[in-house]
Chain A
Amino acid sequence: MSVATDLKQPEAQPSPESVKMAGRNVSVFYGEKQALFDVDLDIVENQVVSLIGPSGCGKSTFLRCLNRMNDTIDICRVGGEITLDGQDIYDKAIDVVELRARVGMVFQKPNPFPKSIYENVAYGPRIHGMTSTKDELDEIVTTSLRRAGLWEEVKDRLDQPGTGLSGGQQQRLCIARAIATKPEVLLMDEPCSALDPIATAIIEELIDELRERFTIVIVTHSMQQAARVSQKTAFFHLGKLIEEGPTEQIFTNPHHQKTQDYITGRIG
C-alpha cells in the first residue's frame, strides 16, 4: 500500500473552542430515500478536512449541508444539527444568504459566470455590499486573484470573459470568486476532478496557502490528494461516517476494516 509520502505533520489535538463547524446526528433524506445516516463530525478552524469514500457514499451530500445548498432541492430534508461557531445553521434566526457569504463553495466543474474576469470576482462583494468605493472593490478583486494564484496570468485582461480561460484557470477563478466574499469556511467539492495534473498540482498548493486564512472542507475521490492536502480525513461509506481522524492515522493505521478495504482498493 503506497500512499503519498509527504504527509502533513500531525497537528496537536484541537481545543474545543476552535471548532469552526460541527455536525451532530446529521441525516439527509431525498424523499423517502435516506442518503446520510447520523453523521457526527467536527471541523476545526484553519484546518483542511477531506471527505473521502466511494461514489455515492454521501460525502458531497454532507458537504452541501454545510452551506445549506441542499435547500435548493425540493425533496431534500435535513435532520440533526449543524453548527457554525456554535450556532445552528438551520435555525430560523440564521439567514441562509448570510451563511453562504460566510461559508463559500467551489464546485466540481468550474462554473464561471459569462461575465468578465473582474465581474466574476466582484460579484460576491457587490451583492453583499461589502465595499463603497471602486477602489475598495478593485482591492478585493486584486487580493482575491492573488490569493488564488491567478493574478499574474490575468492582470492584463481583467475585462475578458471568464469563460475564455483554460479549465484550471477557470477553477482558480471560481476559487478567487469564492474567497472574495471573505468567507470563514471554504467548501470544495472535488475541485480538481475536471482538471489535468498540472492544474491540479497548482490548486493543491493553493489550498495549502489558503489554509492560513480559511477553514477548508474538501471532498475528493483521490486518496493521494487527501493525503497531500488535509490534516484530518473522514471516510464515508453508503451514507455513514465510518471513521475519522488525523490524515496520517487514517492512511497508515485505520481502525475500521472498511476503511482499510477502501484504502487498499478493495472497495470503491
Chain B
Amino acid sequence: MTDLAGGNVQEINSIHTSDEARARLAKRYRAEGNFKWLGRSAIGVSVAFLLLLLSSVVSQGIPAFTFNFAQLPFQLNAETLGTDGSDANALKKADYDGLVRNTIRGEFPHVTSRKGKRLLGGILSSGAPVYLRQQVLDDPSLVGGTKTPEVPISDFADLYLKGQITPSSYVDGGANLTFALDDKSYSIVADQPVFTDQLKAAKARLAVQAASLRDEQAGQLRSAAKLEGDIVAYKERLAAGPEADVKERLEKSLEKTEEDLKLVRVRIEQLASKADELDARIANDGLGETLTADMPSALLYVGGGVLKLTSVTNSTATAEAYMPVAEDLSAAAPSDWRLRNMEVVEANRKFSDQEIVWTDELVERGYIRNGFNSIFFSRGASREPEMAGVWGAVVGSALTLIVTLALSFPLGVAAAIYLEEFAPKNRWTTLIEVNINNLAAVPSIVFGLLGLAVFLNYFELDRSAPYVGGMVLALMTLPTIIIASRAALRAVPPSIREAALGIGASRLQTVTHHVLPLAMPGILTGTIIGMAQALGETAPLLMIGMVAFVVDVPAAFSDPATVLPVQIFMWADFPEPAFQQRTSAAIMVLLGFLIAMNAIAVVLRKKFERRW
C-alpha cells in the first residue's frame, strides 16, 4: 500500500485510539453520566415533592377521620325536657343547653367556682346541645329510654385524646410523702429529693428569662451609645455658633436626647438588676421555685385524685387539687403515688392541665367513645372545628358540576360536530378555532370577572348559587370539551363517513348514527377530564361570591352553596389546629374524587379505544 500524501496510516490510526483520545473519551462519558443524573434528579424533584405533599396532607388529615364522643348520662325524660317525646314542637324547644350543662357539672360536683364551671363546660363542644337535640328529634324514643345519646367533645379535648396537645411521661413514686392541708393548698414533704427534676426545669426556664433580659439590656446599651453620640454631635454644632433659630432647634433636640438617655439608663439598671436577681436564684440550687404557667408542669396522682404542684423545692412541694383526693389523706408510700410531667408548658398550649385531668377522668369513667367522624361527613360549615363538616361543600360541588355538565357537554359536542363535520374552511371557521384555542388559555380568574360583571351585575342572578357557578365553569370547560371532542371525531376514519354517505344518509344522519357513537368514548374521556378540572377550580367561584359562610347543606340549585376547593381555601385561614386537620381531610376527599374521575376516564379510554 502506498504512502498517502498528507497523512500516514499511523497518524490516522492514533488520532482516535491514542491514550489521549481514550482519556478524552472517558471524560465525555463522565459528562454523559452526569447529564443522565441531572435528568434523573429532575424527575426525582417532582416525585419527591409529590410524595412530600401527599404524605403531609395525609398525615395531617388522617386524625380528622376519627373523633371522640362523650356518652354522658343525659337525663332525657319528661322532667328535663318538658315532654315525654310525643310533642315534636316541645322537643324542639326544650332546654338542651341546660341539660348538657347540668350533666357535665353533675359528673364533677366538686367544681363550684364560676370560672371552673365555665372551663368544665368547654370540654364539650359548644355545638353539643344542637347535636343532642338533633339526635332526640331524629329518634324521640330516646326520651325516657335506656339508650344513651352522645355528644361531640371540644376540638382541643379531641386533640388531647389524639395525643397532639402535649406528650407526657409518668415517674413512679420514689419516696414516702406526708400531706398537710391548709385551706385549699396541700403541703407535701418527701423523705427523698423526688422533685429535683421539676426544680431543675423551673430553673432552666428562669435561665431563659434571664438570657432574654440580657439580650434586651444589650439592645438598650446600643441605644444608649447612639444617643451619647448624638449628644456629642449636637454639642459640637452648638459650639460652632449657629444662627438663632437653628440654635434654638438644636438646644431643644439636645434636651430631648438627654432626657431619652436618662430613661434608657434607668431601664438598663432595671434590666441588670432583674437579670442579676434571676441569676442568683438559678445559682442557688436548693432555693424553691413557684411553678408558673411558662414552666413545665407536674401532676401528682395520689389518693384517688390528682394534685397539681404549685411550687417545689428538692424534697417539698405545695399543690392544689385538680381532682379531689381522699379526705383523710396524710401519707403515701412510694407505691401509692406517681408523678406525671407535661412536656409542653401550659402557656404554650390551648388546653390546660385542669382540662386534661377532667378529660382523663371522663375516659376513666368509660364515657368516651372513639369512632368515625360522622360529623365531618354529614354537616356543613361551622365556626367550631369539631362541628364543621365537608358535606355541604360536597353537595355544592355536585350541584355545580351537574349544571356545568348539562351546559357544556351539549354545547361543546355540538360545536365540535359543527366545526369538524360541517364547517367550510373559510375565515369564519378559522376565527372560531383561533377563538377557542385562545379561550382555553385564558386564566380562570378572568372567567370569574366575566361572571361577576355579566351574571351578577347585569343579570342580577343570585350570588353564591350553584347554577351561576355552574354557568361560569361551563364557559371555562367549553373549550376543553370542544378540543377533546374534535380530536375524537377526527380519529374516526373517513371511510366510515364515506360508507354512510354512499348509502344515502344525510350528513347529519351520518354524524349522529355512525360517527358520533364511534367517537363517544373519546368525547366522554375528554368530558370527564374537563369535569375533573372544573371540580378543582377555585378562583372564578370566589369572584361570584361562593365564599359565603354556608352552614346548611344546599338542597336546590339556587340555594347558597360553596364548593369543596373554596371550602378548603376558607378553612386554610383558620388557625385552630383542628381546622388544619380538617382542611387536610377535605383535601383528601377532593383528591379522592379527582382520582376516581380520572381513573374512570383512563378505564374508559383503555376499554373502548380502538386502533383504526
Contacts and interface: CB of A to CB of B under 8 A. Distances in A.
**Do A's and B's CB atoms come within 8 Å in the complex?**
yes
A213 B21 contact: no
The DSSP consensus for interface residues of chain B is helix
Interface of B: 1, 4-7, 12-13, 15-17, 21-22, 24-25, 28-29
Given A130-B15, A213-B6, 6 more contacts: A45-B1, A97-B28, A98-B21, A101-B16, A128-B16, A184-B12
A63 to B, nearest CB: 20
A182 B24 contact: no
A98 B25 contact: yes
Given A46-B1, A213-B4, A182 B12 contact: yes
13 contacts: A18-B1, A45-B1, A95-B25, A97-B29, A98-B16, A98-B17, A98-B25, A129-B21, A182-B7, A182-B15, A212-B5, A213-B4, A213-B12
Nearest to B17: A98
A181 B21 CA distance: 12
Contacts of B4: 46, 212-213
A127 B17 CA distance: 15
A96 to B, nearest CB: 11
Nearest to A184: B12
A55 to B, nearest CB: 28
Contacts, number: 38
A184 B7 CA distance: 12
A98 B1 CA distance: 25
Contacts of B16: 98, 101-102, 128, 181-182
A214 to B, nearest CB: 9
B1 A128 contact: no
A68 to B, nearest CB: 15
A151 to B, nearest CB: 15
A173 to B, nearest CB: 21
Nearest to B23: A129
A124 to B, nearest CB: 11
A252 B321 CA distance: 121
Interface string A200-221: 0000000000001100000000
B319 to A, nearest CB: 78
A213 B15 CA distance: 15
Contacts of B5: 212
Contacts of A102: 16-17
A179 to B, nearest CB: 11
Nearest to B16: A101
A97 B15 contact: no
A18 B1 CA distance: 8
Contacts of A129: 21, 24, 28
A181 B17 CA distance: 13
Contacts of B6: 213
A46 B4 CA distance: 10
B13 A128 contact: no
B8 to A, nearest CB: 10
B31 to A, nearest CB: 10
B24 A213 contact: no
Contact of A213 (B1, B7, B13, B28): B7
B7 A127 contact: no
Contacts of B13: 85, 184
A46 B15 CA distance: 18
A46 B1 CA distance: 9
A46 B16 CA distance: 19
A128 B12 contact: no
Nearest to A127: B28
Among B7, B15, B25, the most chain A Cβ lie within 10 Å of the Cβ of B15
Given A45-B1, A46-B1, A182-B12, A128 B7 contact: no
B429 to A, nearest CB: 34
A102 B4 CA distance: 17
A181 B16 CA distance: 9
Q: Which 5 A-B pairs have the closest CB atoms?
A: A129-B24, A101-B16, A102-B16, A182-B15, A98-B16
Interface in A209-240: 212-213
Contact of B21 (A46, A127, A128, A212): A128
A213 B2 CA distance: 11
Contacts of A97: 25, 28-29
Nearest to A45: B1
Contacts of A212: 4-5
A213 B29 CA distance: 29
Interface in A65-99: 85, 95, 97-98
A130 to B, nearest CB: 7
Contacts of A213: 4, 6-7, 12
Contacts of A101: 16
Contacts of B1: 18, 45-46
A98 B6 CA distance: 23
Interface string A10-46: 0000000010000000000000000000000000011
B148 to A, nearest CB: 70
Nearest to B32: A97
Nearest to B27: A129
A97 B17 CA distance: 11
B29 to A, nearest CB: 8
A180 to B, nearest CB: 11
Contacts of A130: 15
A85 B16 CA distance: 13
A129 B22 CA distance: 11
Nearest to A98: B16
Contacts of A182: 7, 12, 15-16
A181 B29 CA distance: 18
Contacts of A85: 13
A166 B283 CA distance: 94
B532 to A, nearest CB: 34
A97 B4 CA distance: 26
Interface string A91-114: 000010110011000000000000
B303 to A, nearest CB: 80
Interface string A115-153: 000000000000111100000000000000000000000
A137 to B, nearest CB: 14
Contacts of B25: 95, 97-98
Nearest to A87: B17
A98 B21 CA distance: 9
A127 B24 CA distance: 10
Nearest to B26: A95
Contacts of B12: 182, 184, 213
Nearest to B13: A184
Nearest to B20: A129
A72 B17 CA distance: 23
A111 B12 CA distance: 26
Contacts of B24: 128-129
